[in-house]
Every structure is written in C-alpha cells, then in structure tokens.
Amino acid sequence: MRWTKFLIPTTKETPHDAVVPSHQLMIRAGLIRQVAAGAYTYLPLGLRTLRKVETIVREEMNAAGAIELHMPALHPIEWWQQTGRVEAMGDVLLRLHGVGDDWRTRTVLGPTHEEPVTDIARAYLTSYKQLPVNLYQIQTKFRGEARPKSGVLRTREFLMKDAYSFHASKEGTGGLDETYDHMYRAYCNIFARCGLPYIVVEAESGPIGGDASHEFAVRTEAGEDWLVRAEDGSYAANLERAEMAPLPDAGGGKNEAIRDIHTPGHSTIEQVTTLLGCSADRMIKTILYEADGAPLVALVRGDHSVNEAKLRRLAGAAALAPASPALIRKVTGAEVGFAGPVGLKARIIADQAVTVMHDAVTGANRTDYHVSGVNPGRDFEIKESGDIRDAVPGDRAPNGSPLIFEKCIEVGHVFKLGTKYSEAMGADFVDEQGRSHPMIMGCYGIGINRIMAAAIEAGHDDAGIIWPASIAPFQVEICSLDVREADVVQTSQQIHDALEAKGVDTLWDDRDARPGFKFKDADLIGCPVRVTVGRRGLQEGVVEIHTRRNGQTRKVAPAAAAEMVAALLGELMPRAEGSGGVRE
C-alpha cells in the first residue's frame, strides 16, 4: 500500500484531554478520531489493527468449538425486564425514548447480550442431545459509561467478542466446567497471539451474576482496576476479590471504660479523627445496609472500606444495598453518621480486623455523640465476623506474603453464570429421563478495542507505538528517502511487491518529504520492521532493515531484503500459549 494512496493523518498535536499514552499515540498516529465523548471513528490505519485483533479472536474461538452468529444492538426491553436488569444496569443501559408506548420506548441498546442469546436458546435448544452449544459474536455494544476516558480504553460504543455457552450439567463431558476451561485456554492463546503481557486473576462477577469468574488483565498506569498480588507470586486477584491473611491482635489496649464524647456536627471518620486527634484505625466504622429487605450492619476499621460483594456473600444475601437515611434513623435512633455497634439491635457482621481492636472509638447511636473505650466482646457481642473489606497496602496474602497493588486494565472476562438467565427467561431443556431443567450457562467477553489500546500501553516509547507483529496495521514500512530518483522508486517497488507476494502487508512511504520527517512518522505508527531505501545506500548496494522494538539495524542487498524481513517477522511474531506465549 502506498502512503500517498492511503489516509494516514499523523499529527504532532496531542489533544489536551488525551492523558494516557495509548490515547495520545492513537490520535497522533492517525488511527482514530474522536466524534463525541466515548465515541471514535477508526481511521483506515486503526481499522486494520482492529480487524487483525478480530481475526485472531475468531480463529481461536472457532478452534475452541464456538459457533459464530450475529445479534442486533436493538433489544426489546421486555427481555431485560424478565431478568431484572433494567434496574441492575441503571444508567449503563441506554434506552430509546419514543412517544408513549411506541417501539422506541420498548427498545434498549444492548450493553451485553445474555438476554437475546438466552432467547435463542429457549427457542431452539430443547433437548440434552443438543447440548453443549457455545455461541459467539463480534458486535458493537452500547453502554452509558459515566466517565468515558482514556481514549478507546473506555467508550460508550465498543466492539466486544461475547460468547455464551449452554449446558445440561456443570461437571463432566460437555458440562460448563469443561467449556469454561476451553474458553480460558482460548483466551490465553488470544492474548498471547496479540502480544499482550497479560495476567489472569480471580474476579468478582458483579451484576452479570454467577459464581466463578476470571479476569484477564494488562498491567498499566492507565488502568482503572487494581490488581492485588502476592510478592512471592503465589496469589493474584482483583481488588474486589482479593483475600488477605487475618490481622494479628496487636494487644496494647488498656481496657478503658466506655465514655460518651460530644461530637456536634462531626459525623465522618475524618471529622471525628481530626476533632479527637486520633488515627482512623482506632475507629470502628458502622455502616448500615438493607440485605434482602432486612437491616444489616457492617463493622470495619475506620481506615478500611466495606467490600460489598464479600459482605453480601458472607451474609448469604441475594441483594444488598446501602440503607436509606430513614432506615438508618429507625435502626440507630440517631441522624446519619452517629451509628455504632454498642446496644444496636440489628444483625451485625464485623470485619475480622474489628475483632482484634481495643479501646476503639465509634458512634453512640445518639445524634452528635460518639463513644470511646469500646472493646468488642465486652461492650458488644460479635456473633458473625469474617473478611468483609477491601485489601489495603500493608495487608498480606493468605499465605503471609506481602500484597502488592498495581493498576491494570481488564481486557477479558470469563464467568460461570449458572441458571440465572435461563431461569428468568424460561430456557429449559429436557434430560434423558424426560425431566425439564433450566440450562446451565457460561459467558465469555473480550474487548476488541481495548486489546488494541492495551497493546499500545504495553508497547510504546517516546517516539511512538511499538506494535506486536501480529496486530500491527502494517507489518513492514518501506521508507523511500529520495523518491525523485528512479532507482530508489524501482527498488522500493520491487521490495514492496516481493513482500506482498510473501503475504507480508507492507506500507510504502512514497511521500516526497525529508528523511527526518518520514522516520519520525515511521517510529510514530510503529510498524515492527522498517526498510529504508535511499540513494546513498543503493550506491553501496544496500538497503537498511530496522527493527522498531530493539532499534537494531542491518544492511542487506536489495534482492535479499524481502527474505530477511520475512525471517525477522517470523522471529517477532507472538505465539499462542503453549508455544512460548507472552504471558507474564
């Protein structure tokens, strides 16, 4: 492809709102153009990478036995009502607004496709003999993300590969566990082939539902998730899921007498610690929830935060939400901000760290009052306790190794869904004995655009992008330095044609511009290999082959260039898992 016949609007300008490297570089290299907050055009160069990512994903999904289909972005809201997700998704679920009850009012834009795919299952899959089935698509999703940012890492319209499997059983041949394993391995292959240094962590399933899930993540400062891992490499999980060793009882309490303290208008941990001159880890934070319709009190140390997923699990609740101010007033008899466990008549679950506190400060269940000298066990009974908080720096992994916190971006997610959707939508099958059961489901998502941006986050330098050979928009760029010289053009054309004949996609920078300018653009768009053809080189009988990743340059005869470039690309090409992939 000749540069002059293509559209590559490279620019020196970095938009002021582009903070993360992938966003800056994708705009500067002419890969994308912002249309609105969270919506981007993929310009021709950007689209080439997106398509290559799609191809890798499709090949691995097909190899793992998944079947491709295509579902629409327009869904009847009725399906989302059946699964209770109109409420669960909140503002993320984008709706069309029509007049009265017309078709627009009854239509939503799919943020994910459990509902439409379950409708297919209930229509066509009726017998155990048809199972398992794993359906996937590569399709546009719409989400009302509150803060679309970081370029294409988080947008309101994006491409997802989403797969959904249906099973007659969880275990055994054809069961959910088996397909989950196949998908897990397919994902390892996909990310390895895309050249991503990825890690797999245990994850929280969130509003999608289900009981087991793994997240595939790439470590980057641009990420919005926290990855927590043990220093000794024994453990990794995302922050929502991370477990830690129990805190030891540090002792040191003087068993003070309990005492009221007047704290007028001081209701937050920060206000109270400032007023009393004590540290937050001396306080017991008392937070009220509504769990399946009943009040539930969570106690954590003042410097810790409640992990609602952990709390919900420990409480055995299906639904958990922060209590309303009215409920808080009713349960505590005080205004919001003065709750404490002493004398409180409600179900209380204490975090493990609270069980080893001494002489603590907490709310008095009386407006404008706190109490000090509170000792768990003596002043209030702890009937239920466990891990209900987020890990913090200083915590240790379950095996005692210190926990390290790093930012990461999620690129893929696999879930065991169970029967949540099949039950809600009546997707049943008949077993060998003629009995009817809801199908057991799994779901598996990958962000196509996010892979592209994550690859740039993981591969760039000050000069520009360093693409993995597998997903570079072009694998090779031929840089012709003196395009007014006939032999330069002729040699460039020959190398270009020879490479294309070998199936190597090649961009030929045939612009009549200064070498420095062209080299800058070449580094910016980041093709793995550059071939420089110039008058001076040709006089010596050579062209130069430059590897973007390590900066190495070698000179070869023009006739040997295509062969050498192909061999070099073979070395640079990331391999699937099991053949020396890229996993960290």
- Tell me which residues touch ligand ATP (CB under 6 A): 112, 143, 145, 154-155, 158, 160, 410-413, 445-447, 449-450
Q: What is the DSSP string of 115-173?
A: HHHHHHHHHH--BGGG--EEEEEEEEEE---SS-BTGGGB-SEEEEEEEEEEES-SSST
Closest CA to 139 of 421, 447, 358: 447
Q: What is the DSSP string of 336-355?
A: TT---STT--SEEEEEHHHH
Spell 77-95 as b/e; 16+ CB within 10 A means b: bebbebbebbeebeebbbb
Cβ distance to ligand ATP smaller for residue 112 or 365: 112
CB of 410 to ligand ATP, least distance (A): 4
Whether the Cβ atoms of residue 503 and residue 469 lie closer than 8 Å to each other: no
Query: Which residue type is seen at 83?
Result: T
Whether the Cβ atoms of residue 77 and residue 196 lie closer than 8 Å to each other: no
Q: How far apart are the first and last CA of the chain?
A: 35
Cβ distance to ligand ATP smaller for residue 363 or 445: 445
CB of 84 to ligand ATP, least distance (A): 17
What SS3 class is residue 32?
strand
User: Strand pairing partners for 429?
Assistant: 437
What SS3 class is residue 209?
coil
Task: Establish how many alpha carbons lie within 13 A of residue 98's alpha carbon, considering only the half-sphere containing its beta carbon.
Answer: 10
Q: How far apart are CA 410 and CA 459, in angstroms?
A: 17
List % helix, strand, coil for the chain (3-state, nearest 5).
30, 30, 40
Cβ distance to ligand ATP smaller for residue 302 or 459: 459
Whether the Cβ atoms of residue 128 and residue 103 lie closer than 8 Å to each other: no
In sequence order, the 6+-apart residues with CB closer than 8 A to the CB of 238 are: 201, 202, 203, 204, 215, 217, 225, 226, 227, 228, 408, 410
Residue nearest to ligand ATP (CB): 447
Place of tokens 């900066």: 551
CB of 453 to ligand ATP, least distance (A): 8
CB of 447 to ligand ATP, least distance (A): 2
Task: Establish how many alpha carbons lie within 13 A of residue 314's alpha carbon, considering only the half-sphere containing its beta carbon.
Answer: 22
Q: How far apart are CA 546 and CA 531, in angstroms?
A: 6
**Structure-block tokens of residue 374:** 């509170």
| Residue 444 φ/ψ, nearest 5 degrees | -145, 115
Residue 292 to residues 318, 419, 421: CA-CA distances in angstroms? 6, 20, 20
118: left (phi over 0), alpha (psi -120 to 50) or beta: alpha
CB of 389 to ligand ATP, least distance (A): 20
